[in-house]
Amino acid sequence: MLNCCYVLLSLVTALTTAPATQPATAPTDREFLAHGMISYAPPAGWQRQGMRDNLNAAAYHSPDQTATILIINTPQEFALTDSIRQKLAQAIGKKIRDDLKSNGHKSLIPPRIEDDPELFLRIHDRFVAEGKEIDRLHLYRSMGLNLLMVSVSTWSDSSQSNSDAFDDARKMLLDAQLQSPQTLSTQPAESLLFPKAGLRVLPPTGWIADLHDATDGIVATFHDPNITDNKILLLIQPIPEDIQHKPEARAALIDDLDRRAQGIYPSDPNRSGTPRQINDRRFIRKTITQHHRPDGRVEVCCRMVRADQVLIEVISISHSEQSRQVMKLADELAVQIKPVNN
């Protein structure tokens, strides 16, 4: 989670000082993030600036072009706690100071936590960049297993204008809503093509798809529209030509992919069981690991298949109450994966 924040803060810094590079578009009454999972209302008159291809972020400029708001959603594996709040605040403060130093900006007010009982975290700082004095506020709100951030940067000479921008940003964050399952924007029940991975995949009906087509690594995550903790991930590994006819090398590659899959879920050594192999002839290998958490047991099931010259690990993560259903969906998804040229 903290690594994600580093990336997000870098984006905030870039948008703080850079002019819009794409034409502005007038927002609708409500806009959406995370495939429609989160809705929010931009401040009246603020114009959206590009970033239409980013499903978890959006940027806006004020009508007088003296302020910028950036809204970003970061999905979480666990519910956020007070200890996470402290670590997050420390990481953000350090990242802000490091960025200002590396960019040669002069700090006027170092990052400081401000009290706001309605928010998870509120951090304020002020600095000089490119001859402009910039007042900036980072606001964080925990929404289920989502961390929603709104960052507002102002460079107006009017203290009232800056205050109004801060108020607009805070209202925008507090107005954000988690959508009910009936209103979620879901992936249709039809095959998805992954040209780089060379795969054709049939996702579970109604599940929300987060796609990252690539030749290696995680290429897709499917989220249960009703229970956000439940998910199915696709992890792939191409089979190099020089080991296709070497059984020992192929076996080592299978072991390596299995270890990568087991490491997807952040485990607690004191609360996690040992992966248990399941006899299922449909798969090259299938394992189940139980993780005991304060809010219940989580089951992580990994099953491996091959499509042409690609190994695919389909990983299901679910609470024990839904694990039978989620594992069945993941099994069905895995056995139906085909190479694109099939």
Residues 238 and 107 in one domain: no
**Amino acid 4: pLDDT:** 44
The encoded tokens of residue 100 equal: 């200002």
Burial 144-173 (b: 16+ CB within 10 A, else e): ebbbbbbbbbbbbeeeebbebbbebbbebb
CB neighbours of residue 97 within 10 Å: 15
Q: Can you tell me the distance from the alpha carbon of 45 to that of 38, in angstroms, rounded to the nearest whole number? A: 21
Strand partners for 303: 286, 314
Domain final residue, candidates 155, 181, 207 = 181
CB 300 within 8 A of CB 316: yes
Residues in contact with 172: Cβ distance below 8 Å, sequence separation at least 6, in sequence order: 40, 41, 42, 43, 69, 71, 150
Would you state the torsion angle of the CA atoms of residues 96, 98, 103, 109, taken in this order, to the nearest 10 degrees?
Answer: 50
Residues 112 and 133 in one domain: yes
Cα distances (angstroms) measured from residue 103 to each of 123, 296, 342: 20, 46, 51
Residues 63 and 168 in one domain: yes
Residues 130 and 25 in one domain: yes
**Amino acid 24: pLDDT:** 44
Residues 173 and 241 in one domain: no
Region of 113 (left: φ > 0; alpha: ψ -120 to 50; beta: rest) is beta
Give the helix/strand (H/E) hosting 129.
strand 121-129
CA 287, distance to chain mean position in Å, is 26
Residues 25 and 168 in one domain: yes
Strand partners for 223: 208, 231
Residues 192 and 66 in one domain: no
Domain range for residue 268?
186-339
**Amino acid 235: pLDDT:** 95
Residues 194 and 146 in one domain: no
Residues 261 and 165 in one domain: no
Q: Can you tell me the distance from the alpha carbon of 79 to that of 176, in angstroms, rounded to the nearest whole number? A: 18
pLDDT in tens, 41-54: 999 999 998 665 56
**Amino acid 342: pLDDT:** 58
DSSP state of 186: -
The encoded tokens of residue 239 equal: 């089979």
**Amino acid 240: pLDDT:** 92
Domain final residue, candidates 140, 162, 181 = 181
Give the helix/strand (H/E) hosting 108.
strand 106-113
CB 128 within 8 A of CB 15: no
CB neighbours of residue 93 within 10 Å: 16
End-to-end CA distance of the chain: give it in Å, rounded.
Answer: 38
Cα distances (angstroms) measured from residue 319 to each of 74, 122, 186, 275, 304: 21, 32, 22, 16, 21
Domain final residue, candidates 132, 161, 181 = 181
**Amino acid 212: pLDDT:** 85
**Amino acid 12: pLDDT:** 54
What's the CATH code of the domain at 312?
3.40.1000.10
Alpha helices in 55-145 (DSSP H): 82-102
Q: Which residues of the chain have pLDDT under 50?
A: 1-8, 11, 14, 18-28, 181-188
Nearest alpha carbon to residue 149 among 261, 12, 283, 257? 12
Residues 98 and 171 in one domain: yes
Residues 163 and 190 in one domain: no
Q: Domain tally for the chain?
A: 2
Give the helix/strand (H/E) hosting 298.
strand 296-307
Residues 153 and 220 in one domain: no
